A and B are shown apart, each in its own frame.
Chain A
């Protein structure tokens, strides 16, 4: 029984934390926040590539380092803690996982080594407007080797070099690989609540595209990509939630009111204890997700949805109560609290909102329950 990181994984995580404290201080995050032209921190991205992080879960046969998925979860937790302004989630948790799961051998050979070296930055483009990820119809179409339509928003869509695009085709939907530098692709930045992870509106006008692998049902494939990403994003949210709680705790110790630290008032203590409990709920569910991800367990769809719901809940509570604990100073641009407030909602929306994932979770839990009863 070891429902925890191993000692080696803990060492990796500690090292990642020290490394990010050095190369990804909140000043670095703010530099991207304050620069309307910056899509991400290119210097930081280069450092992550040097560390081999982009190839953490990519098999050696495709140029990766294959540390393992629990290791990738550990890195995600630290990146989330640091509010890292890089397209890591889009490129590694979604794009690379999509190519690995559904790409042809040629596509894997051509793309994944470059994902590891950071030359290819990928993203997955699915949303076309307000509403759930599942809801269609989607207007973007694939026909005769090209793609036409538009996606909004595409997270990391400015910094990305490639995208997996969900598009309609004869009789359904498919996933298509698109080189975003190709003719027929137009990208415009869109302002978002979390500018440290820039997003784009991407218009395709007969842009060259190739089906990802043999093709297949695009909505199901997208859901499979999102399930795996949900677990990794849950670790980012968990890292952020832990950090937001620490910030609130530290401030509650140093801020005095009515002659004593505000952290000695039960109004603050109980609030932060509630945050701790929610974080523990998120941690337990995220770890279960990591187990499912690393073992390809049949429980993965349920575990992924549970990890996402629990982590979204936790980061939201931690981020908003961190601001509340800080009081007025927490509401300023100068304080770091809003970095977490923004990122918490960003992560919670990125692959579909909380309500959509709660619905998915109950659908899956119910289906598994009925299947279990039928088998019994």
Chain B
């Protein structure tokens, strides 16, 4: 049991830490509203930083050299991500492309046309988005109804995608379509990539209940793309989906934000009788529960790193991590507001503690239990993949997709 890097890892960490310190953008020069993720100022600063990463060989550390990567190990990639998180750097713009989509693209469609997309993505010049979910294909992620039909050497795509993170800023997208509705659900899918400026692609931001508009709907109407932009075999798109999900699993993120220290500070700042809300035994009891869950989340990352350090695939602890983190987030926000009493209603950067961070968390924590695999799907994954329990009885198994019962 130890948390220490081995000699090689320690040397690598020291090296990349120096590099990050020397190259990280100075956000303090930006206006406060421009320091936020997705603000133009933040995006431009991170783009410049990403370019420097690409030049130094840190953009795709664990990619093989023939793809333009550094040919490094997963643990090196994870160490770099840790050091970036510790330095307060957040670059969500490039993650979808570099961590999830492009590796799958290269795995299934390694040709000159796709290779040409790698350099610009590594330098942060081109941003990618995922065009997977649909109004009737959420947890049922193979229930794709967007169609692609062949027309000479081209494909014509029609349909609607939804919950596409950052699609309004994206240059390219990976889209999953149905090419054969006579085949069972998972069998008739085909993956493509396309430019987001292709005629017929329309992006409409969705305002979430938290007030932000990072998510989008994407409408695809008579979108014509060449067959060269097909990823993998016709009707074998599900394999591409699986590749992207596997890539997502190996990606390591830092978990910053509100946690037990903020709760201690908050409770200590609220007067209650002779003392503060921190003296309330019921709150202290709650805080103990929060702490063990927050610790588990922190420590599970070390379990994943241990696996990567050994050159192994991360174990099942990752699927527990999301459930722990999302439940903790929502519970923390609710408790913080409750501590504040009626004052907790106030969502005003001037009046609310931490500029309203607890109120923001209260709102967006409802979403993180849904995005990236709902609580219910995560539990199915644990039950089936980890515990080995059988899948539910399914009425869509072996049935042609077009004959599967569906709602509106």
Residue B39 interfacial (CB < 8 Å): no
For B382, what are the chain A residues with a Cβ–Cβ distance below 8 Å?
A: 273, 276-277
Find A4's partner among B264, B278, B306 (CB 8 Å cutoff): B306
Find A359's partner among B284, B293, B387 (CB 8 Å cutoff): B284
Contact (Cβ within 8 A) A3 B323: no
Binds B, one of A114-122, A258-266, A340-348: A258-266
B299 CB, nearest partner CB in chain A, Å = 4
Known contacts A1-B3, A359-B288; is-contact A288 B387 (Cβ 8 Å)? no
For B288, what are the chain A residues with a Cβ–Cβ distance below 8 Å?
A: 305, 309, 357-359, 361-362, 365
Residue A253 interfacial (CB < 8 Å): yes
Q: Which of A271-295 contact B (CB under 8 A)?
A: 272-274, 276-277, 280-281, 283-285, 287-288, 290-291, 294-295
Residue A313 interfacial (CB < 8 Å): yes
Residue B67 interfacial (CB < 8 Å): no
A313 and B324 CA atoms in complex are apart in Å by 14
A374 CB, nearest partner CB in chain B, Å = 13
For B289, what are the chain A residues with a Cβ–Cβ distance below 8 Å?
A: 309, 313, 358
Residue A249 interfacial (CB < 8 Å): yes
Residue A252 interfacial (CB < 8 Å): yes
For B284, what are the chain A residues with a Cβ–Cβ distance below 8 Å?
A: 358-359, 362-363
Residue A5 interfacial (CB < 8 Å): yes
Contact (Cβ within 8 A) A288 B264: no
Contact (Cβ within 8 A) B2 A291: yes
Residue B388 interfacial (CB < 8 Å): yes
Residue A199 interfacial (CB < 8 Å): no
Q: Which of A287-326 contact B (CB under 8 A)?
A: 287-288, 290-291, 294-295, 305-306, 309-310, 313
A273 and B375 CA atoms in complex are apart in Å by 10
Contact (Cβ within 8 A) B320 A268: no
Residue B303 interfacial (CB < 8 Å): yes
A56 and B191 CA atoms in complex are apart in Å by 57
**Chain A: interface secondary structure?**
helix
Q: Which of A323-376 contact B (CB under 8 A)?
A: 355, 357-359, 361-363, 365-366, 369
For B278, what are the chain A residues with a Cβ–Cβ distance below 8 Å?
A: 366
B373 CB, nearest partner CB in chain A, Å = 12
A281 and B3 CA atoms in complex are apart in Å by 18
Residue A270 interfacial (CB < 8 Å): yes
Find B384's partner among A4, A269, A283, A310 (CB 8 Å cutoff): A269
Q: Which of A1-56 contact B (CB under 8 A)?
A: 1-5
Which of B1, B278, B320 has the most CB atoms of chain A within a 10 A radius of its CB?
Answer: B1
Residue A58 interfacial (CB < 8 Å): no
Which of B9, B292, B323 has the most CB atoms of chain A within a 10 A radius of its CB?
Answer: B292
Closest to A269 in B: B383
Number of residue pairs spanning A and B whose beta carbons lie under 8 angstroms apart: 158
**Interface size for chain B: under 10, 10 to 19, 20 to 34, or 35 or more residues?**
35 or more
A245 and B389 CA atoms in complex are apart in Å by 12
Q: Which of B351-393 contact A (CB under 8 A)?
A: 376, 378-380, 382-384, 386-393
Known contacts A1-B9, A280-B317, A365-B260; is-contact A306 B390 (Cβ 8 Å)? no
Find B392's partner among A266, A355, A361 (CB 8 Å cutoff): A266
**Chain B: interface secondary structure?**
helix
Contact (Cβ within 8 A) B389 A268: yes
Find A285's partner among B260, B295, B306 (CB 8 Å cutoff): B295
Contact (Cβ within 8 A) B295 A261: no
Contact (Cβ within 8 A) B5 A270: no
For A361, what are the chain B residues with a Cβ–Cβ distance below 8 Å?
A: 288, 291-292
For A265, what are the chain B residues with a Cβ–Cβ distance below 8 Å?
A: 392
Contact (Cβ within 8 A) A284 B380: no
Residue A76 interfacial (CB < 8 Å): no
Residue A112 interfacial (CB < 8 Å): no
Which of A3, A5, A263, A264 has the most CB atoms of chain B within a 10 A radius of its CB?
Answer: A3
Which of B281, B291, B306, B386 has the most CB atoms of chain A within a 10 A radius of its CB?
Answer: B291
Contact (Cβ within 8 A) A285 B299: yes
A5 CB, nearest partner CB in chain B, Å = 7
Residue A147 interfacial (CB < 8 Å): no
Contact (Cβ within 8 A) B309 A366: no
> What are 27 residue pairs bridging A and B, where the CB atoms are less than 8 Å apart in the complex?
A1-B3, A1-B302, A2-B309, A3-B303, A4-B303, A249-B387, A253-B388, A253-B390, A266-B376, A268-B389, A269-B387, A270-B376, A272-B387, A273-B379, A276-B387, A277-B382, A280-B320, A281-B296, A284-B295, A284-B317, A309-B292, A310-B296, A357-B288, A358-B284, A362-B284, A365-B264, A366-B278
> Given contacts A273-B323, A294-B1, could you give 10 more A-B pairs where the C-beta distance is less than 8 Å?
A1-B4, A3-B299, A3-B305, A269-B389, A277-B320, A277-B382, A288-B295, A306-B292, A313-B289, A362-B284
